[in-house]
Amino acid sequence: MLLQGDEAATLEALVAESGAQAVYWNRRYGAAQREADRALKTALRERGVRVESFNGQLLNEPWTVSNQSGEPFRVFGAYWRACLRRGDPPPPASEPERMIFQSLPARLTRRASKLDDLGLAPRAPDWASGLRAAWPAGEEAALERLRAFLATDLDAYAAGREEPGDAATSRLSPYLAVGAISPRQVWAALKAAQHAQGRDSARRAASAEKFASELGWREFCHYQRYHYADLAARNLRPAFDAMPWRKDPASLRAWQCGLTGYPLVDAGMRELWHTGWMHNRVRMVAASFLTKHLLIDWRAGESWFWDTLVDADPASNPANWQWVAGSGVDAAPYFRIFNPVLQGQKFDPRGNYVRRWVPELAGLPDALVHEPWKACVQSLAAAGVRLGENYPQRIIEHELARRRALEGYAKTAGAKGRTASKQSGRA
Ligand SMILES: Cc1cc2nc3c(=O)[nH]c(=O)nc-3n(C[C@H](O)[C@H](O)[C@H](O)COP(=O)(O)OP(=O)(O)OC[C@H]3O[C@@H](n4cnc5c(N)ncnc54)[C@H](O)[C@@H]3O)c2cc1C
């Protein structure tokens, strides 16, 4: 049963009506959530109710990892080495042997509803069929995905994880984002798989280490959200406040719809719209394209990803956007501007990924699929591609965009500014 309403008032009413003597919950890490949970804890304790909170979302609590001066780490490598020095996080708690469910107090039943009653799934129109097909929901589906990944794909992870045409990554992010599985469950299963016998141990060890460090990036994003309360709203490097971002709704729309004329970017944006997910390499290229080629504020991209990703996460999404834009801690240098053609040729050399999501280009030979504008009239005609008609011309030329981005960047005083101080600004 679900109860809707102001969370503190609803929980307090439930405690009062049911006579509960103890309340347990998983910790939340956003500044406003921490404040709300702290206030609720105090209110319930004042009424004699026992309250305990637990870590259900992270490998390490953010306040337990700091540098030698007691300050938060700003560089991922140093942060992650410090985490690894702590040893394995505690294993996940085992399932309770039995659960006794009480019926809801009578006065609250009229306010209760079942999940299906909330009508959350889109019906008219039903735009979510692609999402449903890609993502079976729930804890069992999450555990099954973890089992399948560790049993069959782990060994190839380190070598194959950068190629969007291969399903080499775990695709656990939506389940981690909604809490259908916890990182400690993933960590414990990974360690068990790592020590399984009869495998190519060097390949497996390299893959397991890489996969663990990706979980580390997730931790580092949550760590940033904990230490920088307004991660999604404010440049962590204040020098970026001077960046001359452009207002360009038509280009923003073309990017959102996968109609920029750059096949790898368009493939990614269409995969996102259709399945709610995008491969990490392509997320980086698409985000770089928005912030550098189009010079559009990273917050516009973050907001689109927030609306469309099934793994949308209040820590990983803004932290990665700031990383790509160059405004975050330990961010990619702003002047490193991805060339979407070279990225495509390197990570999707046969064009499988582009052909899947941009079928208009499927008939082009491998050598041209990432730069159809270089195809001769005969090749375009043979592939049925009519640039500007059934596939767009590039909305901006790469070299021109690169120069413009670097000029914009120069206005931020080289964006050398120090990182914002921790816990400042809005919640
Ligand atoms: C602009 C941008 C926005 C992003 N937004 C999100 C988001 O909202 N939610 C989200 O979960 N991830 C986000 N990511 C990170 C990353 O793209 C996804 O976590 C990853 O693609 C998920 O696929 P996977 O589960 O197969 O990853 P795997 O390669 O199998 O990695 C295992 C797990 O590690 C974590 N992870 C991997 N890479 C990262 C990373 N760079 N940052 C944080 N965690 C990582 C994820 O929880 C992932 O499930 C974003 C990346 C970029 C560049």
Is 389 in the same domain as 250? yes
Is 204 in the same domain as 346? no
Q: Does residue 103 fall inside a structural domain?
A: no
Domain finish residue from 227, 258, 290: 227
Q: Does residue 161 fall inside a structural domain?
A: yes
d(CA 222, CA 93): 22
Is 253 in the same domain as 362? yes
Going by their DSSP bridges, the two strands 112-113 and 2-3 should be labelled as: antiparallel
Kind plus residue range of the DSSP H or E element containing 300: helix 298-308
Q: Does residue 396 fall inside a structural domain?
A: yes
Is 304 in the same domain as 367? yes
Q: In terms of residue numbers, what domain contains 293?
A: 238-415
pLDDT of residue 331: 77
* Cα-Cα-Cα-Cα dihedral sign, residues 58, 62, 67, 72: positive
**Residue 161 near ligand 1, beta carbon < 6 Å:** yes
173 annotated as ligand-binding: yes
The number of beta carbons lying within 10 Å of the beta carbon of residue 343 is 22
**Residue 287 near ligand 1, beta carbon < 6 Å:** yes
- Between the CA of 99 and the centroid of ligand 1 the distance, in Å, is 34
Q: Kindly state the tokens that stand for 280.
A: 């990490």
Q: Does residue 399 fall inside a structural domain?
A: yes
Q: Kindly state the tokens that stand for 300.
A: 């516009």
Q: Is residue 245 flagged as an active site residue? A: yes
CA dihedral 187, 190, 192, 194 (to 10 degrees): -140
Report which ligand 1 atom has the smallest distance to the Cα of 321.
1
Domain finish residue from 201, 227, 253: 227
Q: Does residue 78 fall inside a structural domain?
A: no
Residue 120 neighbours by CB under 8 Å, 6+ apart: none
| Contacts for 76-83: CB closer than 8 Å, 24+ residues apart | 76/216, 76/217, 76/220, 76/330, 79/216, 79/220, 79/223, 80/213, 80/216, 80/219, 80/220, 83/59, 83/216, 83/219
Is 189 in the same domain as 272? no
Q: Does residue 127 fall inside a structural domain?
A: no
Q: Are 255 and 285 in contact (CB under 8 A)?
A: no
Q: How many folded domains does the chain comprise?
A: 3
Q: Does residue 1 fall inside a structural domain?
A: yes
- Between the CA of 301 and the centroid of ligand 1 the distance, in Å, is 16
Position of tokens 């990570």? 347
Q: Are 185 and 92 in contact (CB under 8 A)?
A: yes
Of 128, 196, 141, the residue nearest 172 (C-alpha): 141
Is 284 in the same domain as 405? yes
pLDDT of residue 118: 87
Position of tokens 């009239």? 377
- Between the CA of 60 and the centroid of ligand 1 the distance, in Å, is 18
CATH number at residue 263: 1.10.579.10
Is 153 in the same domain as 263? no
Is 184 in the same domain as 264? no
**Residue 306 near ligand 1, beta carbon < 6 Å:** no
CATH number at residue 31: 3.40.50.620
Is 278 in the same domain as 373? yes
Residue type present at position 1: M
Position of tokens 């190629």? 163
Residues present in the chain in total: 427
Give the CB-side neighbour count of residue 306, counting CA atoms within 13 A. Answer: 16
Q: Does residue 102 fall inside a structural domain?
A: no
Is 203 in the same domain as 244? no
Is 259 in the same domain as 391? yes
d(CA 168, CA 164): 8
**Residue 217 near ligand 1, beta carbon < 6 Å:** yes
Q: Kindly state the tokens that stand for 173.
A: 């992010």
Residue 46 neighbours by CB under 8 Å, 6+ apart: none
Domain finish residue from 180, 203, 227: 227
Residue from 58, 83, 173 whose mutation best tests the ligand 1 pocket (most atoms within 8 A of CB): 173
Residue 12 neighbours by CB under 8 Å, 6+ apart: 40, 43, 44
User: pLDDT tens track of the chain, all 427 residues?
Assistant: 899 889 999 999 999 999 999 999 999 999 999 999 999 999 999 999 999 999 999 999 999 999 999 999 999 999 999 999 999 999 998 888 998 888 888 888 888 888 888 888 888 888 888 898 999 999 999 999 999 999 998 999 999 999 999 889 999 999 999 999 999 999 999 999 988 765 678 889 999 999 999 999 999 999 999 999 999 999 999 999 999 999 999 999 999 999 999 999 999 999 999 999 999 999 999 999 999 999 999 999 999 999 999 999 999 999 999 999 999 988 778 888 999 999 999 999 999 999 999 999 999 999 999 999 999 999 999 999 999 999 999 999 999 999 999 998 888 855 454 444 444 332 2
171 annotated as ligand-binding: yes
Q: Are 263 and 375 in contact (CB under 8 A)?
A: no
pLDDT of residue 416: 52
Q: Are 319 and 295 in contact (CB under 8 A)?
A: no
Residue type present at position 45: R
CATH number at residue 153: 1.25.40.80
Q: Kindly state the tokens that stand for 109.
A: 């039943």
Is 402 in the same domain as 325? yes
211 annotated as ligand-binding: yes
Among 25, 55, 217, 306, the active-site one is 217
